[in-house]
Amino acid sequence: MNPRDERRTAQALASEIKDLARKHSGQMRFMEVCGTHTMAIHAAGLKSLFPESVKLVSGPGCPVCVTEKRFIDHAILLAAKYDACVTTFGDLVRVPGSSGSLTTFRSEGGTVRVVYSPLDAVEVAVAQSPRPTVFLGVGFETTIPTVAATLKAALARGVENFYVLPAFKTIHPPLRILAAKDDLHGFLLPGHVSAIIGSDCFSYLVDDFHKPGVIGGFEPLDILLALRDLVSMTVRGTSAIVNDYKRVVRADGNRAARDILYDVFEPADASWRGLGVIPGSGLAFKGPYTRFDAAAHFPVNVPESKDDPRCLCAAILTGSKTPDRCGLFGKECTPEDPVGPCMVSSEGTCAAYYKYGAV
């Protein structure tokens, strides 16, 4: 589709959303679960196309943002005590811990390597042997299968100094909690995660909570189409799970990826920023892969951590607040000097508001 046709289609979808919204007496609040959707919505300026009665709020789909400060503290204490090399994706290096970030730790003499895949971390381990190398395992179902495949490869190669500090999350348990909120009327469901877990598995949103959900892609037209369908169902008083991203997402997802994931990991409780401990929402190692568990292999005493009470990141991740409501936003909290992870991550809501404005 050429740019002119794209603009015409976008204008038509936006007009349809406005026409539908006029048929509804109250406000409609929808949550975009995925941090990539958040960034795409702001980058394209889509919120300016919606009527006042249609509100989009962010959810807990940014893996860096929902990871608690204590995890950063754990990684730093472990690395300092056991002289471990920390490997991580770039988003985590500036996330604040209780006494500084991984960037701070590196400036004080610690070893932190930014990698682009878990397999890169294995190669770092091989080069560092016998020094322990710890990969920080943060992510959802989208990336966890690649970590599982990496652990299978490391086990087969006999790499004995490679470990993973787990903070993995799965999307369904927090969605069940959020779906119970009366002020949320539907969900723009995550496209990347859904490519792994499929579309059929979201049926509980309809069956248990009578809330519509639409799986959308990340181009502006994808998002407008998904919002049109969410508004349409809300106006009609119906609920269904609609897959508007069929070029990527199948009903049953990617079974091979899930088989790899659950061959290495099993469900476990996990703690989420803004939501606390959610039973069965994380993943733990199982079978022969427990040998890669850095938390078990390198015990450290990690004190309880406290977030700055002025930071609204936790409330932003549950759709209760928006960044412009935070007194720190753009003042004491900036991408160069962040107070919370929502300002650090490339998928963070505060980062999106700061870069593109609160339109």
Question: Please, what are the domains in the chain?
Answer: 28-311 (3.40.50.11740), 313-356 (no CATH)
- With CA atoms as reference, report the closest residue to 145 among 119, 114, 111, 179: 119
| Phi and psi at residue 145, to the nearest 5° | -60, -35
CB-count burial class (<10 Å; 0-12, 13-18, 19+) for 318: buried
* Residue 30 in this model has a pLDDT that exceeds 70: yes
70-93: per-residue pLDDT in tens? 999 999 999 999 999 999 999 999
223-282: per-residue pLDDT in tens? 999 999 999 999 999 999 999 999 999 999 999 999 999 999 999 999 999 999 999 999
358/324 Cα distance (integer angstroms)? 7
What is the pLDDT confidence band of residue 3, given thresholds at 50, 70 and 90? confident
What percent of the chain shows pLDDT beyond 70?
A: 99
Assign 3-class secondary structure to 111-155: CEEECCCHHHHHHHHHHHCCCCEEEEEEECCCCHHHHHHHHHHHH
pTM of the model: 0.94
Instruction: Give the residue with greater pLDDT, 306 vs 200.
Output: 200
Give me the mean pLDDT over the 30-43 stretch. Answer: 96
232/241 Cα distance (integer angstroms)? 13
Let me know: does 234 contact 262? Beta carbons within 8 Å: no
144-169: per-residue pLDDT in tens? 999 999 999 999 999 999 999 999 99
Let me know: does 24 contact 186? Beta carbons within 8 Å: no
- Rounded to 10 degrees, what is the CA torsion of 218, 220, 223, 225? -130
200-210: per-residue pLDDT in tens? 999 999 999 99
pLDDT, position 358 = 65
120-152: per-residue pLDDT in tens? 999 999 999 999 999 999 999 999 999 999 999
Two structure tokens written together for 270? 């996990």
Give me the mean pLDDT over the 192-199 stretch. Answer: 98
What is the pLDDT confidence band of residue 4, given thresholds at 50, 70 and 90? confident
Give me the mean pLDDT over the 324-335 stretch. Answer: 95
pLDDT, position 2 = 80
What is the pLDDT confidence band of residue 31, given thresholds at 50, 70 and 90? very high
Question: Which sign, positive or negative, has the C-alpha torsion 308, 309, 311, 312?
Answer: positive
84-117: per-residue pLDDT in tens? 999 999 999 999 999 899 999 999 999 999 999 9
Instruction: Give the residue with greater pLDDT, 274 vs 1.
Output: 274
pLDDT, position 314 = 94
CB-count burial class (<10 Å; 0-12, 13-18, 19+) for 165: buried
Distance of CA 132 to the CA centre of its chain: 28
Question: Which sign, positive or negative, has the C-alpha torsion 34, 39, 44, 50?
Answer: positive
pLDDT, position 359 = 52
- With CA atoms as reference, report the closest residue to 23 among 231, 240, 224: 231
88/239 Cα distance (integer angstroms)? 40
What is the chain's mean pLDDT, rounded? 96
- With CA atoms as reference, report the closest residue to 243 among 214, 220, 217, 223: 214
* Residue 1 in this model has a pLDDT that exceeds 80: no
Let me know: does 264 contact 285? Beta carbons within 8 Å: yes
